[in-house]
Amino acid sequence: MPSDTFFADVRIVADGIDVRGDLLVRDGLIADFGPSLGRPGGVSVIHEDGAVLCPGLVDMRVALGEPGFEYRETIASATAAASAGGITTLAALPDSQPAIDDPALAHLLIARGRETGAVTILPYGAVTRGCKGEELAEIGLLREAGAVAFTDGTRAIASTGLMRMALAYARGFGARIVQHPEDPSLARGGSATEGELAARLGLPAIPAAAEAILVARDIRLAALTGGAVHFAHVSTGEALSLIRRAKDEGVSVTCDTAPPYFDLNENAIGDYRTFVKLSPPLRREEERLAVVAGLADGTIDAIASDHQPRDADDKRLPFAQASAGGVGLATLLSVTLVRVHNGELSLGAAVSLLTSRPAALLGVNAGRIAKGAAADLCLFHPDRIWKVKSGTLPGKAQNTPFDGRALEGTVLGTWKAGRRVFGL
């Protein structure tokens, strides 16, 4: 059960809010907040010098592992990792086994989220049956069942005709198509970004242009159909330039990125470190800087963890054969705060990219601090240092690309509807 809680003398940061004061939670809701509320009786008091209180994070791209890949991650283990990362709402990718192409499975994921009591699970619906890219899934029925958007997860929708139909059909239900922007014919078999490093390491390469090629196609299709397209984990300056121009022209296009693409570059591969084999692959430094610029100027609409759990055996292979993907739930906030500490983002902008902006994209009432809103909250210390260490992270999967990294920004506590679900 939620307990009435009083957060005393804390910096409260949310979309349009940056104030030092107090916040009162009663019956799972935010009762009041502001400077010098006056401490009521009969409540639990939370006071941490130097801490920041923000809305619970909204992570719009998470592979849960369940159903079908429970050896990698389960809903229970992902929930533990999410809570430790300050995440209270997450959108689950549909490329599970079976894929979320049936309304009953969407209902099941929503119910399993409620059962955790710690995280709201928002299901994505599959664009195509089985996420196989061959025929459209029942978009209307999935939308009615609670699907917040439609995607084939880590698989690009390669067929131009099928993508056109998906955009047009989803438009009728007020839904977005979320694309993995990578031309499959250029990316197939690749494991690193094409260039000097991949050549020197002898790795099969993917040209960075594979991203922009699909982005350019789908922007044109969105303009043609009036549909809404969202590009996931954008990682190149060329793609961002196309998205920026399309937004200026009024095309319904949005995008997100993930921490590896604004914090790491291809040199992190080092001596074939498979934990940093990702999809899309890490890019050159100039591309990383372009992603940082896209965050700062508002071209990028959200930051997502792009959590892709992998079993140890998936990674204990030669780099080219190892599975792509990295976990990101527990490190989402801390890595984003690096950009704040470097002066590239304000704290308010960073919090919005992790809370209110992804919530708006998903069309859900989350990621905000307001009187009467659910008390989904994250308390963190922006300057407290912790070290990322594979094998000790919350959750089942441990394949973090940030292994060994010291990060400033520690989650002190997470509350879901007023109930504390994580605390140091």
Please give the DSSP secondary-structure letter assigned to residue 136: B
Q: pLDDT tens, 261-300?
A: 999 999 999 999 999 999 999 999 999 999 999 999 999 9
Which CATH number is correct for 55-362, 3.20.20.140, 3.40.50.300, 3.40.50.1010, 1.10.150.250?
3.20.20.140
d(CA 319, CA 342): 32
Q: Contact, 224 vs 196, CB < 8 A?
A: no
1: pLDDT confidence band, cut at 50, 70 and 90?
Answer: low
d(CA 139, CA 309): 27
* pTM of the predicted model as reported, rounded to 2 decimal places: 0.97
d(CA 169, CA 165): 6
Q: What is the mean pLDDT of residues 70-85?
A: 97
pLDDT over 80 (residue 77): yes
pLDDT score of 262: 98
d(CA 110, CA 89): 11
pLDDT score of 418: 97
SS3 call for 200: helix
Known active-site residue 306: yes
Chain mean pLDDT for the chain: 97
Q: Which of 102, 306, 314, 376 is catalytic?
A: 306
d(CA 401, CA 384): 21
Q: Contact, 409 vs 333, CB < 8 A?
A: yes
Neighbours of 96 (CB within 10 A): 22
Q: pLDDT tens, 358-383?
A: 999 999 999 999 999 999 999 999 99
pLDDT over 80 (residue 341): yes
Rounded to 5°, the CA angle 231-237-240 comes to: 35
Q: What is the mean pLDDT of residues 315-330?
A: 97
Which CATH number is correct for 5-52+375-383+403-423, 1.10.357.10, 3.40.50.720, 2.30.40.10, 3.30.70.100?
2.30.40.10
Burial of 268 (0-12, 13-18, 19+ CB in 10 A): middle
In 56-147 the beta strands, taken as DSSP E runs, fall at 57-62, 87-92, 120-123, 125-126
pLDDT score of 203: 98
Could you tell me the residue ranges of all domains in the chain?
Answer: 5-52+375-383+403-423, 55-362
d(CA 169, CA 152): 15
In this prediction, what percent of the chain has a pLDDT beyond 90?
A: 98
* Backbone torsions φ then ψ of 182, nearest 5 degrees: -155, 115
Rounded to 5°, the CA angle 240-245-249 comes to: 145
pLDDT score of 368: 97
Neighbours of 104 (CB within 10 A): 9
d(CA 47, CA 289): 37
d(CA 13, CA 16): 8
d(CA 62, CA 124): 10
Reading the block at residue 308, the tokens are: 């892709």
38: pLDDT confidence band, cut at 50, 70 and 90?
Answer: confident
pLDDT over 80 (residue 2): no
Give Cβ neighbours of residue 420 (< 8 Å, ≥ 6 apart). Answer: 3, 5, 413, 414
d(CA 62, CA 77): 13
d(CA 77, CA 394): 8
Look at phi and psi of residue 363 and say left if phi exceeds 0, alpha if psi is from -120 to 50, else beta: left
Rounded to 5°, the CA angle 224-230-232 comes to: 140
pLDDT over 80 (residue 235): yes
Task: Identify the CA nearest to 89 among candidates 78, 77, 99, 100.
Answer: 78
d(CA 131, CA 147): 15
d(CA 410, CA 40): 28
What letter represents residue 328's amino acid?
Answer: G
